[in-house]
Chains A and B, each alone.
Chain A
Amino acid sequence: MATATSAIRVEGVTKRYGAVTALEAVSLEVERGEFLTLLGPSGSGKTTLLRVIAGLERPDDGRVYLGGEDVTDVPPYRRRVHTVFQQYVLFPHLNVYRNVAFGLEQKRLSRREIERRVAAALELVRLSGYERRWPHELSGGEQQRVALARALVLEPEALLLDEPLAALDLQLRKEMQRELKRLQREVGISFLLVTHDQEEALALSDRIAVIADGRLQQIGTPREVYERPETAFVATFLGAANVLEAEILHRENGDALLGLCGHTVRVPLNGRRIEGSRAQVAIRPEKIALRARPLRRTDLVQLEGVIEECLYLGEATHWRVRVGEHYVTVTEPNRPGSKADAFRDGQRVFLCWTRESIVVLSR
């Protein structure tokens, strides 16, 4: 990676509040024009990281670079990143025009220049004609757009977005997701978005950084993170996963021979390094098929189990199957001709999946 050109670079940032560690040696980079999402549960430290980048919090350790320049000791009002806050935090005493013009006024630009850029920014977020409105007269979505315009009008190095869609209802959230994506493509600047909503992260991001307990868990494209989670946390937080204990019997040619639920399974490691004699593996519930009797195929892993529970969820059916001492969750879409009705609780079934569906987790 060409670090000199990255929009944001964070190196070994640590932040403590008394005895609580909010961030522990976090390092990451946001490329120019990239849409990166910080995904994590509440209290994971993702908002703290955003505030450290914005300059609203000082890290106890580590450095922050914007456009290659070390800004760790630069106050927030001299950093070329701007934030869209949760619940937007528009200035209630200023109308839409003055809200958007606020940052430009700090730069002491000419009035004509300010007018021109405010108009362009409002146009960009499709709020032309709203100049004289007051924040309290606007809907949630409109306030959101003003907040975006207010930050984008300053043409920042990167835009920081702190759960920007959390306050919107579902319908509007979907719409604003598309809107955000469009905006990002149009202005071409880096977006660093904080969210706890995995779907939002998957839909919007070029890359996702999963964060938990103040530590960066994994960073990669949505597909990478979903398909090849590195840790049990990532596997279960992003989507659902069956995390099973396995014994490492043998390693050769980038594959591992695992003892899993009394069966021996050869699994590709895909370059992942594992140590010791035991490991955890993750299998996505939708990658497992249920069969009444075993298939005659050697390329599949097939385990025998007993159905414990069946949950009909409209678009899909969830099964809970006991395999030895383990429980495995299986999800099947309710397509025409699916077997949702065919199985009964207590029935013996076979779980089938490909070897490639098994992800060996590190840690």
Chain B
Amino acid sequence: MSARARTSPILAVWMGATYLFLYAPILVLAVFSFNDSRLLAVWRGFTWTWYKAALSNPPMLDALRTSLLIAALTTLIATALGTSAVLALERWRGRLRSLSETLFVLPIVVPEIVVGFASVTFFGWIGLRLGLLTVLIAHVAFSVSYVFFVVRARLATLDPRLEEAAMDLGANPWRVFWKVTLPLLAPAIAASALLVFTLSLDDYVITSFVAGAGATTLPLRIYSMIKTGITPEVNAISTLLLLVTLALMALAFRIERRGMTRTHLVLVGLLLLGLVGFAFGDSVARRPRATLNVLIWSNYISSRVVRAFEEKTGVKVNIETYDSNEALLAKLQAGVVTYDLIVPSDYMVRILIRENLLQPLDLTRLPNLRHLDPSALGLPFDPTNTYSLPYTRGITGIGYRKDKIAAPIGSWADLWEARWRERIVMLDDMREVFGAALKLLGYSLNSTDPEQLRQARDLLRRQKPLVRAYDSANFDQLLLSGEAWIAQAWDGQILKARRENPNIEFVIPREGTTLIVDNLCIPRSAERPDLAHEFINFLLDPTVAAENMNEIMYLMPNRSAWPRLRPELQRHPIFSLPPEVLRRSEYLQDLGPTTVLYDRYWTEVKLAR
């Protein structure tokens, strides 16, 4: 082709815009991994802090290790399986051939959520305990199809006479496969291996269903951080992953272009060795006498506390995280996980008791019980503390920027203030949002009266034009960046944010609010209830509790530990809560059938203009 088409400038701009659209988010992610601020959106200067933090964050590294291990094994198995399936089908002239090919499409088109649920049900049925193995099986299952189609597409373009030519020249079928078929398929196999590696590395939906003890992957870990706040550590880890992926792709591209040279072999070998070494390095280093599996919200326990327990007892504590009470319930109901300690919220404790998923605590083995504040014991969801002991207590309130808002804040009505239009943020949580409205109207936040609910709905609809966002994960970020001035908020995140900006204030509305207690419980299926008791007692020790609180910034009802708290926690509004406000505050309760009405009104509010 001698004539070169002139590229129109419009086309060039269009192309540029397309690439920008594709890659700008990733670029921003990488840039902000060097940002000297906890904020995800405002540039404050360059730092390596987040890389250091990420690389010295044991749960994060564990998750990364798990992810890489699973991705590597998945890639190996799925690539081999998929390629052999292609070759087998190619030679099969049976009548069911096209049907079998169609069956390979299904895993791609069936919604992941269905595959995930089906897998967990299946594993439960055959009695396979959820863990690394189940994640691996599920990942292989969904990625074999991708290998199948990529490799088959390549095989379809291959001249079948190449194999005949090889045979004609004296190569037996085995040699034909290794010397001709495989080398010619290699680029497709390499490409599909990369695809599978990436898919496995970032799968969330299916993994969230089938992951069990010891199998928290990086995506699961990141999602679970939503409750306690995402930090740029995630950016740092993601950027590192991105670099690894890019390096792999560059390598695969070179192999495809130039063929497999000795240098490439050495590189691939080193890479694999590094991966395996990293993946297994930790488990080889430490040989614990026993393992205690803990399922908890992320950033909800101090890693120093965990290490202290491990050193004291020689037990390996395996920390797994989840992102919602409902996810926790689903895992326990599936009956295929064995966790020794879980931390459900108040209303979920009641559900777990009702579902017979918890075992009674042996209070005689918990002498440190005496340090607990009596006001946190005997709460309505477990009045006799047969199954649960309080771990942390939280409270919903209002976080605001006192440098932006001069007026005194102290009522839910302040979130309906027209002066702060577009600067108001509400939690993205049906019960919390309706709770605020119901309290403002003077009703119970567990109201099931349709008339009261209708009033609350109308109140929230009126508020809607003023609200900048409904956001449970980033309200602290929004306050820090100044995008929001006032937000419905949970205490822990606001206290953490205040460490960065003292202008952030937290108040509890005088109308009363939601009280939250997260509890230590032992599932009925626990394998080591003895260690779980030991660990609970350890966590209730005042010194340990203080250290734990000072790090996670959530308050524990441990009276003996309070004097050792850092000043910000000592000044926690919960301590100065007027008795009448406490009286007006409530724990969330299960609403039974009224939940449907809540759901409908919540949708109406969300859809309102």
Contacts and interface: CB of A to CB of B under 8 A. Distances in A.
A76 B183 contact: no
A18 interface: no
Nearest to B184: A93
With a 10 A CB-CB cut-off, give which of B169, B179, B184 has the most chain A CB atoms: B169
B161 A106 contact: no
B169 A89 contact: no
Interface residues of A, number: 21
Given A89-B162, A91-B180, A93-B184, A83 B175 contact: no
Interface in B168-200: 168-172, 175, 179-180, 183-184
B259 A102 contact: no
Contacts of A93: 180, 183-184, 259
A54 B168 contact: yes
With a 10 A CB-CB cut-off, give which of B161, B168, B175 has the most chain A CB atoms: B168
Nearest to A93: B183
Interface residues of B, number: 18
Nearest to B168: A83
Contacts of B172: 75, 77, 106
Interface in A11-60: 54-56
A76 B161 CA distance: 13
Given A77-B171, A102-B171, A91 B259 contact: no
B581 to A, nearest CB: 77
With a 10 A CB-CB cut-off, give which of A78, A85, A106, A150 has the most chain B CB atoms: A106
Nearest to B161: A89
Interface string A149-162: 01100100000000
Given A91-B180, A93-B184, A56 B168 contact: yes
Contacts of A296: none
B165 A83 contact: yes
Contacts of B164: 56, 76, 83, 85, 89
Nearest to B170: A106
Nearest to B186: A93
Contact of B169 (A56, A75, A82, A92): A82
B166 to A, nearest CB: 7
B449 interface: no
Contacts of B159: 89
B167 interface: yes
Given A91-B180, A92-B184, A106-B175, A151 B161 contact: no
Contact of B165 (A55, A91, A106, A154): A91
Contacts of B259: 93
A103 interface: yes
A76 B179 CA distance: 17
A85 B164 CA distance: 10
A107 interface: yes
A51 to B, nearest CB: 8
Contacts of B170: 77-78, 103, 106-107, 154
A102 B183 CA distance: 14
A103 B171 CA distance: 7
B469 to A, nearest CB: 56
Interface string B135-169: 00000000000000000000000010110111111
A103 B166 CA distance: 8
Given A89-B159, A93-B259, A82 B171 contact: no
A83 B162 CA distance: 12
A288 to B, nearest CB: 46
Contacts of A107: 170
Interface string B202-227: 00000000000000000000000000
A70 B423 CA distance: 92
Contact of A56 (B167, B179, B180): B167
B198 to A, nearest CB: 26
B262 to A, nearest CB: 16
Contacts of B162: 89, 91-92
B261 to A, nearest CB: 13
Interface in A295-310: none
A264 B159 CA distance: 59
B169 A103 contact: yes
Interface string A54-88: 11100000000000000000011110001101000
Given A92-B184, A93-B184, A82 B168 contact: yes
Contacts of A77: 167-172
B166 A102 contact: yes
Contact of A150 (B167, B169, B175, B184): B169
Contacts of A82: 168-169
B182 to A, nearest CB: 10
Contacts of A76: 164, 167-168
24 contacts: A55-B167, A56-B167, A56-B168, A75-B167, A76-B164, A76-B167, A77-B167, A77-B168, A77-B170, A77-B171, A77-B172, A85-B161, A85-B164, A85-B165, A89-B165, A91-B165, A91-B180, A102-B166, A102-B169, A102-B179, A103-B169, A103-B170, A106-B171, A107-B170
Interface of A: 54-56, 75-78, 82-83, 85, 89, 91-93, 102-103, 106-107, 150-151, 154
Given A56-B164, A77-B167, 11 more contacts: A55-B167, A75-B172, A77-B168, A78-B170, A85-B161, A91-B180, A93-B180, A102-B179, A103-B171, A106-B172, A151-B169
The 4 closest A-B pairs by CB, nearest first: A103-B169, A106-B170, A89-B165, A89-B161
